[in-house]
Amino acid sequence: MNIFAPIGRAFFLFLAQIGRLTMFTVQAISHIVRPPIYWYAVFQQLMRIGYFSLPVVGLTAFFTGGALALQIYLGGNRYGAEAIVPQIVVLGITRELGPVIAGLMVAGRVSAAIAAEIGTMRVTEQIDALTTLATNPIKYLVVPRLVAAVISMPILVAIADSIGVFGGYVVATQTLGFSGGIYLKNTVDFMKTEDVVSGLYKAATFGFIIALMGCYNGFNSRGGAQGVGAATTNAVVSSSILILAANYVLTSLLFAK
Amino acid sequence: MTPKIELRGVKKRFGPKVVLDGIDLVVNPGESLVIIGGSGTGKSVTIKSVLGILRPDAGQIFVDGEEVTHVSGRGRDRVLKKFGMLFQSAALFDSLPVWENVAFGLIQGRGVGRKAAREIAIKKLAQVGLGAEVANLSPSELSGGMQKRVGLARAIAADPEIIFFDEPTTGLDPIMADIINSLIVNTVKDVGATTLSITHDMVSARKIAHRIAMLYKGKIIWHGPVADIDKSGNEYVDQFIHGRAEGPIKMEVKA
Ligand SMILES: Nc1ncnc2c1ncn2[C@@H]1O[C@H](COP(=O)(O)OP(=O)(O)OP(=O)(O)O)[C@@H](O)[C@H]1O
Ligand SMILES: [Mg+2]
């Protein structure tokens, strides 16, 4: 048997998949720029994607900030540089960890939920029913989720940044013997607008990825409960990978000197 | 007279499996056509092709003389506004209460206000034997037969010119089935709607059909007025309407 045949077939399937995803993305964007937009659905999704993600995002940011402070202190200690904790915490949180941690948490929560919901609508013919009622499913289901995710993520990340810095502050002042006033002053002096803004650009991109992968996998799910389960897994895995890849690309673009 | 719906040589396959192998079918204005045929012969695929949910591989589909085979986007929406559809699985939106399901096409597609739409929805629910008390329930709180009737109310809510019923009486008790049959007959008679129904239920077929078409192996093998169904001279039709295991139609079961 020819070993190149299966490899070639897999490669073409992969290309076809990329093509389908591109088509889907173009369609979704074309519906965002063409009115009408279902604003009530956008509002509902803002609550589900943004508001209800606050607890998980806040908690993970807090612990991440705390652990970061601890590590920098221990690492810096070796060179007598432990005073640098506030500066590195705020840099690390705003540039990288805030957006990435929030992105991954929301990917797990939201893109899974979107894929499961839209996937169920697909396999129970609800999406076909929308079409027959002259309502475009992309406009009605995908656009509100994309818009809401792109709006929610920067807000969530801004909150995650604050809570992450606060987590570092709590650990530094409670267990590492930093004085609160000096810690805050160092944080504020060192923090740069570009660092925060770059994190918010990342956040918006991640929001788009999360909603897109949830919707795309849901829309293309096939064959009952098992198909919906597979779509949900694929949505989380693909959005997480894409977030990390996009994060690298954005970091190298935004901080290119 | 321009047919309301016409299919010419419509073919559809899924992978290697040929489902529709050249369907020719005409439905005239104000007519009630019933498609019969064994399970899995492609009856649902046929009506989904007309609606554009599935794209045929070959052939043409006309609605009011306009070719719609490859129409999409706004053009498709305009064509679909003529249609109402009852899905075999009801396909209710489980995130919306019953009344919003029924009123969906009115609110989203036709810009009717929510209050007026709700009143129409409750009237349509009454026509399918459901009281106002179910209006605020979620579809998952209903029995299978009740869901089917909500689907029926949704299909007729906007008084469409053409209505497709995919197994309207499956899952209903005989009395409710008869009420639904009468509802379909009256929709055709009073509103002048054109209907295309799919059923296995010969009692229902005889009551609602003007004409019957039988689908077998991807083709329409017989069609004629409902009065001729018992003297079709077609042994496939005879076997089907009398529900005999023995005959030219071989079910793929291994004994
Ligand atoms: N989306 C799809 N993908 C792949 N195969 C399909 C799809 N839809 C239908 N089929 C196949 O097409 C054939 C016809 O299906 P269809 O639903 O039209 O049957 P039917 O005549 O309506 O049967 P029933 O009376 O049981 O509802 C079946 O064999 C089915 O497996
Ligand atoms: Mg069917």
Q: What CATH code is carried by the domain that includes residue B66? A: 3.40.50.300
Rounded-to-integer distance, Cα B217 and Cα B40, Å: 10
Instruction: Name the helix (H) or strand (E) containing A64.
Output: helix A54-77
Does residue B41 line the site of ligand 1, with CB under 6 A?
yes
- Report chain A residues whose CB lies below 8 A from the CB of B53: 128, 131-132
Rounded-to-integer distance, Cα A33 and Cα A29, Å: 7
**Which ligand is in closest contact with the Cα of B13?**
1
Does residue B140 line the site of ligand 1, with CB under 6 A?
no
- Flag whether B100 is in a domain: no
- Flag whether B196 is in a domain: no
pLDDT at site A151: 96
- Listed in sequence order, the residues at least 6 apart from B81 whose beta carbon sits closer than 8 Å to its beta carbon are A134, B109, B110, B158, B160
pLDDT at site B8: 93
Q: What is the pLDDT of residues B80-107, one digit of tens each?
A: 999 999 998 889 999 999 999 999 999 9
pLDDT of residue B255 exceeding 60: no
- Flag whether B234 is in a domain: yes
What is the total count of domains within chain B? 1
Cβ pair A129:B91 closer than 8 A = yes
Cβ pair A126:B51 closer than 8 A = no
- Report chain A residues whose CB lies below 8 A from the CB of B156: none
Average pLDDT value for residue range A195-217: 94
Closest listed residue to residue A111, CA positions, set A238, A204, A224 = A238
Beta bridge partners, B61, equal B7
- Report chain B residues whose CB lies below 8 A from the CB of A218: none
- Flag whether B101 is in a domain: no
**Host domain of residue B229:** 1-80+210-255
Q: Which atom of ligand 1 is nearest to the CA of B37?
A: 21
Model pTM score = 0.87
With contact defined as beta carbons under 8 Å apart, do B193 and B187 qualify? yes
Q: What is the pLDDT of residues A136-180, one digit of tens each?
A: 899 999 999 999 999 999 999 999 999 999 999 999 899 888 888
- Flag whether B96 is in a domain: no
Rounded-to-integer distance, Cα B72 and Cα B70, Å: 6
Rounded-to-integer distance, Cα B172 and Cα B49, Å: 27
- Flag whether B28 is in a domain: yes
CA–CA min distance B232, chain A (Å): 35
Does residue B12 line the site of ligand 1, with CB under 6 A?
no
Does residue B43 line the site of ligand 1, with CB under 6 A?
yes
Domain ranges of chain A: 38-254
- Interval between CA B10 and ligand 1 midpoint (Å): 15
Q: Which atom of ligand 1 is nearest to the CA of B43?
A: 21
Average pLDDT value for residue range B56-65: 92
pLDDT of residue B189 exceeding 80: yes
Of B10, B13, B41, best ligand 1 pocket probe by most atoms within 8 Å of the beta carbon: B41
- Flag whether B250 is in a domain: yes
- Flag whether B43 is in a domain: yes
CA–CA min distance A134, chain B (Å): 5
The three-point CA angle B165-B167-B171 to 5° equals 130
Secondary structure in 3-state letters for B194-230:
EEEEECCCHHHHHHHCCEEEEEECCEEEEEEEHHHHH
Give this complex's ipTM: 0.88
Average pLDDT value for residue range B209-222: 92
Does residue B44 line the site of ligand 1, with CB under 6 A?
yes
